[in-house]
Amino acid sequence: MEHHGRGHRMTVHKQSVSFTDAAFAFARELVEAGEYPNVSAAVSGEMARAKAARERERTLLEAEVQRRLALPPDQWEPVAALGTFTSSARDHLARLKSAQETGMKS
């Protein structure tokens, strides 16, 4: 099945998928609001929007990394030693795991 839209041909693949109640309700809301003609179009359209957003985020991140790499060394921010760089995150995860294990025993 082919769909003709926005000046280009797009192949459509039929696929059975499952949605949470919230995701399906959102797709239906988009259809009811007139943003898409049907749920399939809503899902495809929102997937395309999500892909574009991810690509924008990746492009912005790459630009920021390049900007920072171009800074002279005297403008770099010091970072903790490698051994301690993730210590606070590790401590937090250990506390979460301990709390979860304590909760499971109750």
C-alpha distances in Å from residue 68, one per residue of 31, 72, 73, 77, 86 = 43, 9, 10, 10, 21
Could you give the CA distance from residue 59 to residue 106 in angstroms, rounded to a whole number? Answer: 47
Could you give the CA distance from residue 5 to residue 23 in angstroms, rounded to a whole number? Answer: 25
pLDDT at residue 12 in the model:
85
For the chain, helix (H) and strand (E) counts, in that order, are: 3, 2
- pLDDT at residue 8 above 90? no
pLDDT in tens, 58-103: 999 999 999 989 999 888 887 777 777 788 888 999 999 999 888 8
pLDDT in tens, 11-58: 888 999 999 999 999 999 999 999 999 999 999 999 999 999 999 999
pLDDT at residue 85 in the model:
75
C-alpha distances in Å from residue 103, one per residue of 96, 97, 100 = 10, 10, 5
pTM above 0.85, yes or no: no
